[in-house]
Structure formats: C-alpha cells, structure tokens
Chain A
C-alpha cells in the first residue's frame, strides 16, 4: 500500500512540476517528488515481519530476518543531497525576486 502511495506521490509531484508557473511552487513540487521517490525506494527493500537492520541486545544475530539496508543507505544520501538542491533553488528564487519583484514566470520578462 505504501509502495503505491509513494508512486502516486511521485506522479503528483511530477504533474505539479510540469504545470506550475510559480518558482516556489516548482521547488515545492520537486520536494514532493523526492519524498514520493524516497518512500518508493525504501518500500522496495521492505520485508514484512523483518527487523530494522541494526544489531542490538534485542536482535543479536545475523540469522534473523532483516529489512534490506541498501535502499536505506541510498535514500539517506538522497535526502541530504535534496536539501542541497532545495537550498540552491531557493537562492535562485530569491535572486529572481530581487530582480523582477515576482515569483510568477509569466510576469517576468519586461523590467
């Protein structure tokens, strides 16, 4: 169920990315796409009844059933890169506002 939700979230974000004409909304849609994709990638490695992939005093041996740790490591990377791209995009948005005094792409161009 969460796999399909992640996929739909990704589609929703892509649709928002294609149709919106506001810079902030575009970056926001990119964030929604990213969250959906992260949920989808994690769901690929999910095992029902599996343990979180951490050895502890409760889960002591490698013979137990664990959730796939590799997608989690990849998503950990993706989230941190996501905040970098969002920060850079918002810096561009700030500069665009300083120049054109609007976020709407359709209202730019004169000045």
Chain B
C-alpha cells in the first residue's frame, strides 16, 4: 500500500515537472538554452556592473573579474558571499560529525598487516596526490577545478596514508587549527574588501591580464584558503569515521 502511494506521488510529481518543461518559455528544450535572455551572458562578457568592449584571452587587462574560468569567476568573485556560507555549512557538518563520533579514540585496525614496501610506496604517492591537490587549488582561475576538488584531493591523500599504514594517525589538532585560521583569513579578506572598496568580499587587488597565473586579483588567494579549509575539514571527518568505540 505504502509503495503504491509512493509510486503514485513520484509519478504525479514527474508528470507535473515534464508537463511544465514542455510549454515553458523560460526553460528551452535540452541543448537550446538562450544565454542572451539570462544574466549568464553578462558573466561571460564581464559586464554585470559596467560595460566593457569584449574579452580577449591573454590581452584583456583589468576586467571586472579577471579569472579565465567563468565558473570560478562566479563562485569566488561574483557570488563569493555564497561560497562563504557554503564553507560554513561544511564546517558545521564536520563539527557535527566530531560531536557524534568524537568520543572514540582508538582507530579501526586493518584486516591485513601492511608491509614495508606498501608503507614507503604510499608515502611517495601521498606527495604526488598532495601536490596535485595544491596545483588544482592554485590554478583554479585558469583551468577546471579550484578549491573544492583541490581540498578533496588533499583529503584523499590523507585517506591513502590511513589505508596503507595501520598505525598512522594524523595530528588532528593541527588540522583544526589550520581550518580555523583559514576561516578567519577568509573573513579578514572580506572585511579588507569592505574597508577598501565599500563592499564585503569585493576584489581589491589588481586583476592583471586574463589568463596569466598571477591574475584575477584575490581569486587565487580565496581558492587556496578554500582548498586548505575543505581539505582539513574532510580529513578530520575521515579520521572520525576511522575511529571506533573503546579505549
């Protein structure tokens, strides 16, 4: 009975959404979106607040937002306050995990005994994955990626060490300090923008030429902060999940 009710509810919901998608001027069919009618075109043209005469890769100087990756420009510049809220949500969720699972101290033992080669090899691989994470974070304004996948890569390098060594235990205290310091840095950056330009989290640094490494004002700084913060948060979540009840 309950399954039938659930099925009917889901089917009615799906039929409603599909019906409204078919005769809707705002949502064109799959693959025919018209960007001219949306705000997105001015994110690409970088003229959300003022007009400019086109964007050219490697030549345009001092655009409204200097990131070559438009998604990054939206996440870390136009909607940076939104991202601050998102990082706060992630912080609260890792705080909740620590509250629920924090009382257990001992870590779960592995089924097998890791041998010497596995430990050393995973140390070498750890460095490579960590550097990839840092690279992805720093180049967030030029290439796909950015602080969130970069931070997740940093956390997965920690996960590798946890899986390859049965006695490894990261210094969680260091991660907690790093995370708090990075959160404070983000807010200080926003307040500095408020003091200099009059808007919270507004870019106050030189934008440089589009497409070079040292460009886009404070977007690389914001993404390094986000990368380290997300990395330490997810690392502490992994540590809490790998510990068990008892002494």
Contact = CB atoms under 8 A, between A and B. Distances in A.
A and B touch in the complex (CB under 8 A): yes
Interface residues of A, number: 51
B74 interface: yes
Contacts of B148: 76, 79-80
**Interface residues of chain B: helix, strand, loop or mixed (majority):** helix
Contacts of B38: 68, 70
Given A59-B57, A80-B90, A95-B101, A2 B30 contact: yes
B214 interface: no
Contacts of B210: 55
A15 B6 contact: yes
A68 B54 contact: no
Contact of B74 (A15, A63, A70): A70
Contacts of A85: 93
B158 interface: no
Contact of A11 (B13, B46, B230): B13
Contacts of A2: 30
Interface size class of B (residues with CB under 8 A): 35 or more
Contact of B44 (A56, A57, A69, A88): A69
Given A70-B43, A73-B75, A63 B54 contact: yes
Interface in A51-84: 52-57, 59-63, 65-66, 68-70, 72-73, 76-77, 79-81, 83-84
Contacts, number: 151
Given A11-B14, A80-B230, A54 B30 contact: no
A68 B35 CA distance: 7
A53 B30 contact: no
Most buried by B among A63, A77, A85, A98: A77
Given A55-B57, A61-B56, A69 B30 contact: no
Interface stretch (B65-73, B130-138, B174-182, B186-194): B65-73
A53 B44 contact: yes
Contacts of A52: 144
Contacts of A83: 90, 152, 234
B10 A11 contact: yes
A47 interface: yes
Interface string B144-168: 1010100010000000000000000
Contact of B83 (A77, A91, A92): A77
A15 B13 CA distance: 11
A71 B123 CA distance: 38
Contacts of B3: 19
B176 to A, nearest CB: 16
Nearest to A84: B93
A77 B75 CA distance: 8
Contacts of B94: 84, 87
Nearest to A59: B57
15 contacts: A11-B14, A53-B70, A55-B70, A56-B57, A56-B68, A56-B211, A60-B56, A60-B57, A68-B38, A69-B71, A76-B75, A80-B90, A87-B93, A91-B241, A94-B241
Interface of B: 2-3, 6-7, 9-11, 13-14, 17-18, 21, 27, 30-33, 35, 38-40, 43-46, 54-58, 68-71, 73-75, 79, 82-83, 86, 89-90, 92-94, 96-97, 100-101, 143-144, 146, 148, 152, 210-211, 230, 234, 237, 240-241, 245
